[in-house]
Chain A
Amino acid sequence: MLAYLVKRVFQAIAVMFAISLIGFAIQDNLGDPLRALVGVSVSEEVRDQLRDELGLNDGFVTQYLRFLGNALHGDLGTSYFFKEPALDVILKKMPATLELVLGATLIIVGLSVPLGVYTAIKPKSILSGIIMGLSIVGISIPVFLTAILMIFVFAVNLGWFPSYGRGEVVHVFGSWDTNFASFDGLMHVLLPSVALASIMLPLFVRLIRAEMMEVLQSEYVKFAKAKGLRPMRIYFVHALKNTLLPVITVGGVQIGTMVAYTILTETVFQWPGMGFMFLEAVNRVDTPLIVAYLIVVGFIFVVTNTIVDLIYGLVNPTVNLARMGA
């Protein structure tokens, strides 16, 4: 296990290293830092001098090592537009995105388990047919279209919900303002969360259903039935427990995917999170911010995947460690 852990962490570091290299290559080729710093009205001599001072004339390796050293100290450059450290800008926007992910996760967990278990227990019932039919429709609707549809119906036509922004937020600490503490905030977070959940929910319903149906065929469930345990106890205590392992591992990986989908939901709802900021940064060619976003998102992906793999290795002793590189 220890060897597996070490290898897995080593792989994570190697991937982060590769991401930093890509980030540096982008920084090196995209935009002109001097122009962003002093504008166009400075003479060529002063520019050369500045370029020397900033180390822009150094070799690729020297510059990369400097970039890496700064990154390890949490310095990912200064945003051209905000005139603030890029990492600070992103960390300020991050709570808004994470709250959206949290809202969507609550909806997914709350709905997928009962729906998945029901369709597995009663595969032939009409309601199961409807749920499964809706799930394939749900998979086929792109997340931005769901978001637009909800704005059109619930915000424009019915006027029940606000159509953009975070509304009234309650300050918690640091740069974290929460949407979950006021009525107005909850109204604002509901539509984007549902839109974000809509793409993942069908996936999880189908996954739980498939795993559950497999488990229900197993010997120990038959034994529990023969022993006369109440069906509810068999389904929710014995069977569900063994269904959740693959669901948790898939779920962990999907957290990363959800960060990508937040870009779409944030764009539609003008939600002031990381994804919205990233697209603005792209339009402004704010290179340090683009690179910082790449590194932060890459970090989120690498960390969640590594943790998920480790949990998987930990809770499932039958996992073939050799295949996974131990």
Chain B
Amino acid sequence: MSSLSTNEIPASRWSRIWNSKMGHSFRGNPVAVVSLAIFLVIAFGAIFAPLIAPFDPYDPGQIDIMNSEYPPIWIEGADPQFLFGTDDQGRDLWSTILYGTRLSLMIGLCAVALQAVLGISIGLLAGYIGGRLDSLLMRLADIQLSFSTLMVAIIFLAVTQAMFGSETFNQYAIYFLIAVIGVAEWPQYARTVRATVLAEKKKEYVDSARVLGFGPMRIMVRHILPNSLSPIFVISTVQVANAIISEASLSFLGLGMPPSQPSLGSLISSGFDYIFSGSWWITAIPGVVLVVLVLVINLLGDWMRDVLNPKLYKG
């Protein structure tokens, strides 16, 4: 960032972000910096879980039931090869948590991606085309929103599980979870995008694009959408946090990831049966990871909301 070079080389994308209003606000906000750092550490652990984890929790050959319920190494009676102890089936808890975080994070991100694709397309169409289509789609959004996502997901997954039997269900549980969390929350995006589109549509650059003869598809995606991004960013952080919580809740109820392939929620659930016998760590350690993960995402979302200050859909 020396003053000499700025005239010659166009600023790289990274330095543009670094020097933007967001970049400045980020550096001045220790909570945001720490949150992002923790999030990156967790994400790193999740992505490289197969390389970091000392054991493979999905490999039955590495699991020995005789190793079950060892406490973490800082408590007496621990086995030094298991950092956070072992769970009820004798799996290394540290490895299982890494793999579980990977699943939780992946389901959360995929579900939100699905929400975003559905919601943004519907919001763009409703806002840009307007008229009957708009009122029909928004009425549907109202109805969908009036049912709690968790309730819809619980009933959908319960019926699916009863219909296919648990064996088939467990095999495809990850897809069912992504689908149901993804579909149930589309109105969050659709309403916000629609509201921004209604405001943007009246602006002159849209008129000029239309006069230039661009089709509605191009105007929506290339012209209006880039100007509606800041509310989308803000919603996305909150939605990822909520999706991770929803997934954990569903898995806790036994309607999500099976114990043989646990996400953080199913790990907490399997530990809950042992909490009365004193093996608190099977529940507590994945619980802490889950809360920290959701908390840092929420804190980042809060910071982003303060900086971007978009007009979010209200009421």
Residues of chain A touching chain B, judged by Cβ–Cβ distance below 8 Å, are 11, 15, 26, 29-31, 136-137, 139-145, 148-149, 151-152, 156, 163, 246, 249, 253, 256-257, 259-261, 263-264, 267-268, 278-279, 282, 285, 287, 290, 293-294, 297-298, 301-302, 305, 325
Kindly list chain B residues whose C-beta atoms are within 8 Å of the C-beta of A279. Answer: 158, 253-254
Residues of chain B touching chain A, judged by Cβ–Cβ distance below 8 Å, are 135, 139, 143, 146-148, 150-151, 154-155, 158-159, 161-163, 241, 245, 248-249, 252-254, 265, 268, 272, 275-276, 280, 283-284, 287, 290-291, 294-295, 298-299, 302, 315
From B148, B162, B252, B299, A136 is in contact (CB under 8 Å) with B299
From B162, B275, B280, A31 is in contact (CB under 8 Å) with B162
Q: Do A140 and B268 touch across chains, with their CB atoms under 8 A apart?
A: no
Specify the chain A residue showing the minimal Cβ separation from B286: A145
Specify the chain A residue showing the minimal Cβ separation from B135: A325
- A sample of 7 inter-chain contacts (CB < 8 A) reads A140-B241, A140-B291, A145-B248, A151-B275, A256-B146, A259-B148, A263-B253
Q: How far is the CA of A136 from the CA of B276 in the complex (A)?
A: 29
In the assembled complex, how far is the CB of residue A297 from the closest CB belonging to chain B, in whole angstroms? 7
Specify the chain B residue showing the minimal Cβ separation from A267: B253
Q: Do B147 and A256 touch across chains, with their CB atoms under 8 A apart?
A: yes
Q: Do A15 and B241 touch across chains, with their CB atoms under 8 A apart?
A: no
Kindly list chain B residues whose C-beta atoms are within 8 Å of the C-beta of A29. Answer: 163
Instruction: Give the secondary structure class of B's interface.
Output: helix
Q: Do B295 and A136 touch across chains, with their CB atoms under 8 A apart?
A: yes
Q: Do B290 and A152 touch across chains, with their CB atoms under 8 A apart?
A: no
Kindly list chain A residues whose C-beta atoms are within 8 Å of the C-beta of B268. Answer: 144-145, 148
Q: How far is the CA of A268 from the CA of B154 in the complex (A)?
A: 16
A151-B275, A261-B150 known; A144+B158 contact, CB < 8 A = no
Q: How far is the CA of A293 from the CA of B294 in the complex (A)?
A: 31
Q: Do A30 and B291 touch across chains, with their CB atoms under 8 A apart?
A: no
From B147, B163, B275, B284, A156 is in contact (CB under 8 Å) with B275
Kindly list chain A residues whose C-beta atoms are within 8 Å of the C-beta of B245. Answer: 140, 142
Q: How far is the CA of A30 from the CA of B165 in the complex (A)?
A: 11
In the assembled complex, how far is the CB of residue B180 from the closest CB belonging to chain A, in whole angstroms? 13
Q: Do B162 and A282 touch across chains, with their CB atoms under 8 A apart?
A: yes
Q: Do B151 and A282 touch across chains, with their CB atoms under 8 A apart?
A: no
Q: Do B148 and A260 touch across chains, with their CB atoms under 8 A apart?
A: yes
Q: How far is the CA of A305 from the CA of B147 in the complex (A)?
A: 9
A145-B287, A256-B147 known; A140+B294 contact, CB < 8 A = yes
Q: Do B298 and A260 touch across chains, with their CB atoms under 8 A apart?
A: no
Kindly list chain A residues whose C-beta atoms are within 8 Å of the C-beta of B161. Answer: 282
Kindly list chain B residues whose C-beta atoms are within 8 Å of the C-beta of A294. Answer: 155
Closest 8 CB pairs of A and B: A260-B151, A140-B295, A257-B148, A260-B150, A140-B294, A282-B158, A305-B146, A260-B148
Q: How far is the CA of A82 from the CA of B105 in the complex (A)?
A: 40
Q: Do A145 and B275 touch across chains, with their CB atoms under 8 A apart?
A: no
From B135, B252, B284, B294, A264 is in contact (CB under 8 Å) with B252
